[in-house]
Amino acid sequence: MPTVAHIVQKQVRALPQLEQFIERDLVSFHRLARHLRPLIERELGKEVEEGAIVMALSRLREKLGERKAEQFKNPAWEKLRISLRDGAVEIDIQKTPSALAKAQSLQSLLKGGQQDIFSLVSGQYELTVITSAEYEKPFLSALKGEKILHVERDLSLIYLLFPSDVLYQPGFFDRILRELVWEDINVFELVSTLDELILAIRSEQAARAYDVLRTRLEIGKSRSQKDQNGIKEK
């Protein structure tokens, strides 16, 4: 049988930004309780005291704080690295056997330099290629005859490198994305490998996104380095 605490948690988690406001102690629990009370009473089918809702919200805040503290206790956070690369472009292609073959051959067009960006993601119906802006024209030429769905220019890539055991830690990726949502920063594309999470962000927001993640995830300056194509920091 659902309880007040259960319903409060469900309502709060349906609104990620509200959850962050509660975690940061920026919400009046009494006002929020008055807002939630009709919803909770309808679901329980009985009257509920406002104080019970306030108590459930207080306990939820404690739980969120404990969860955050527990996450940051994980040694994986201490090993987190962050870097920023500018000058990327994304090409989205309708997936066909010929398009897949052409997309897989695009890597042969790269110069092989350390600064090259190349990522190929194959979905069920579409292909996404992320590469350095300088390769846009050669890639589009190589894809001639295929249906180009969209080209997004002026992107920057934020690389988050972490130990592979992070993959077994619930909430790791969620924590990263919620910090960006809080700052109204849009993630245009997300790609992950075993030890990397790559976020494609509009270049105009990239520096702010980098600083937000470095600060909120407590990545020390000695453990962060921006790419030569980005904003240098030693």
**What does residue 192 show for φ and ψ, rounded to 5 degrees?**
-130, 150
Whether residue 229 is predicted with pLDDT greater than 50 in this model: the reply is no
State the CATH class of domain 77-223: alpha beta
Nearest-CA neighbor of 62 among 95, 29, 84?
29
Q: What totals of helices (H) and strands (E) does the chain contain, helices first? A: 9, 6
User: How much is the pLDDT for 91?
Assistant: 97
Of how many residues is the chain composed? 234
**pLDDT confidence band for 208 (50 / 70 / 90):** very high
pLDDT tens for each residue of 11-33: 887 776 787 788 778 888 899 89
DSSP for 143-164, written as a single string: TTTS-EEEEEEEEEEEEEE--G
Report whether pLDDT(214) > 70. yes
Does the predicted TM-score (pTM) go above 0.95?
A: no
pLDDT tens for each residue of 77-106: 677 889 999 999 999 999 999 999 999 999
Domain boundary assignment for the chain: 4-70, 77-223
Instruction: Report the alpha-carbon distance of residue 172 to residue 178 in Å, rounded.
Output: 10
Q: How much is the pLDDT for 75?
A: 64
What is the pLDDT, as a whole number, of residue 73?
63
Per the model's pLDDT, the better-predicted residue between 77 and 162 turns out to be: 162
pLDDT band at 219 (very low <50, low <70, confident <90, very high): confident
CA–CA dist 176, 149 (Å, integer): 29
More confident call, 15 vs 224? 15
pLDDT at 11: 84
Measured torsion, CA atoms of residues 110, 116, 178, 213, in degrees rounded to the nearest 10:
180
The rounded percent of the chain whose pLDDT value lies above 70 is: 88
| pLDDT, tens digit (0-9, with 9 covering 90-100), for 52-76 | 999 999 888 888 777 666 666 666 6
